[in-house]
Amino acid sequence: MARIALVTGGMGGIGTAICQRLAKAGYTVVTTYSRPGREQQWLADQQEQGYAFHAYQCDVADFDACQAMAEQVRRDVGEVDILVNNAGITKDTTFRKMSKLDWDLVLRTDLDSVFNVTKPFVELMMDRNFGRIINISSINGQKGQFGQTNYSAAKAGMHGFTKSLAQEVAKKGVTVNTISPGYIATEMVMAVKEEVRHAIIAGIPVGRLGSPEEVAELVVFLASENAGFITGANIAINGGQHMC
């Protein structure tokens, strides 16, 4: 029986690539979305490309909603073996101008969600002596970024979570890792002004943006049996833009 992978926020650029690559690797793929409206078109588009995904509406910032989603996935699809915490938002502004609302929205969606979604699955992973938890962070959680105190704090917090949980569950066959992408050629990045995009690329030693598919390949490796000795790691995929 195929293992089941859950990808939160799977309908964005990186999320879609992760869902597709996991499906190609033989996983049954479940994803979440926050607001109804575009999920039917996304599912139809994926169906046309040969992908049959399961999708559930869930506010990942809401603990009770995540509990309910987990139970629904369990009933409809089965027990989750691979969890990819990918959902996230930005509310960028300088700290001086940042409202408490913008701080709370980003921390709840980007960091609290990691607790909310992991909590209902990790114990059963331990009971089955296999599990993969992969948290999608950011280069800006490593180095910080002007105008992103909220986002950078949340993404840095993800890796603190990763390192601590990894130690707790390692003996039960469950690994927990972070991936920190740099600038990736998603629709959002490609929509910025060309001169801004060229300035970004000029700061990347490999001389280009990353692709969502490259992030997805790393996810699939960390999800595999072959990655069982990797846990508590933060793997940068940023073209050399930040090295630590």
pLDDT at residue number 20 = 98
Residue with the larger pLDDT of the pair 82 and 194: 82
Residues 6+ apart with CB under 8 A from 232: 162, 163, 166, 167, 170, 176, 177
For the beta sheet containing 82-85, the strands, ordered from the edge strand earlier in sequence to the opposite edge, are: 54-57, 28-33, 4-7, 82-85, 131-136, 174-181, 234-237
Polymer length in residues for the chain: 244
**Is the model's pLDDT at 91 over the cut of 90?**
yes
Considering the domain boundaries, does residue 244 fall inside one? no
Say if CB 60 and CB 34 are below 8 A apart.
Answer: yes
The verdict on residue 148 lying in a domain is yes
The β-bridge partners of 4 are 28
96: CATH: 3.40.50.720
pLDDT, tens digit (0-9, with 9 covering 90-100), for 190-232 = 877 889 899 999 999 999 999 999 999 999 999 999 999 999 9
Q: Write phi, then psi, for 167 (nearest 5 degrees).
A: -70, -35
Q: Do strands 82-85 and 234-237 pair parallel, antiparallel, or not at all (unpaired)? A: unpaired
Q: How many domains does the chain have?
A: 1
- Residue-wise burial string across 51-78, b where 16 or more C-beta atoms lie within 10 A, e elsewhere: bebbbbebbbbebebbeebbeebeeeee
**Which candidate, 125, 2, 122, 87, places its Cα nearest to that of 53?**
2
Q: Give the pLDDT score at 80.
A: 98
Contact between 8 and 113 (Cβ < 8 Å): yes
Q: Is residue 15 part of a domain?
A: yes
Nearest CA to 7 out of 112, 91, 104, 121 is that of 121
H-helix or E-strand containing 67?
Answer: helix 63-76
Tell me, yes or no, whether 243 lies in a domain: no
Strand partners, 176: 133
Maximum Cα–Cα distance for the chain, whole Å? Answer: 53
**pLDDT at site 190:** 84
Does 78 map to a domain? yes
Is the residue at 157 inside a domain? yes
Domain-embedded: residue 102: yes
User: What residues have CB less than 8 Å from 133, skipping those under 6 apart?
Assistant: 83, 85, 118, 122, 125, 162, 165, 174, 175, 176, 177
Domain with 153, as residue range(s), is: 4-237
User: Is 106 within the bounds of a domain?
Assistant: yes
Active site residues: 151
Give the model's pLDDT for residue 1. 76
pLDDT, averaged across the chain: 96
pLDDT tens-digit series, residues 145-198: 999 999 999 999 999 999 999 999 999 999 999 999 999 998 878 877 889 899
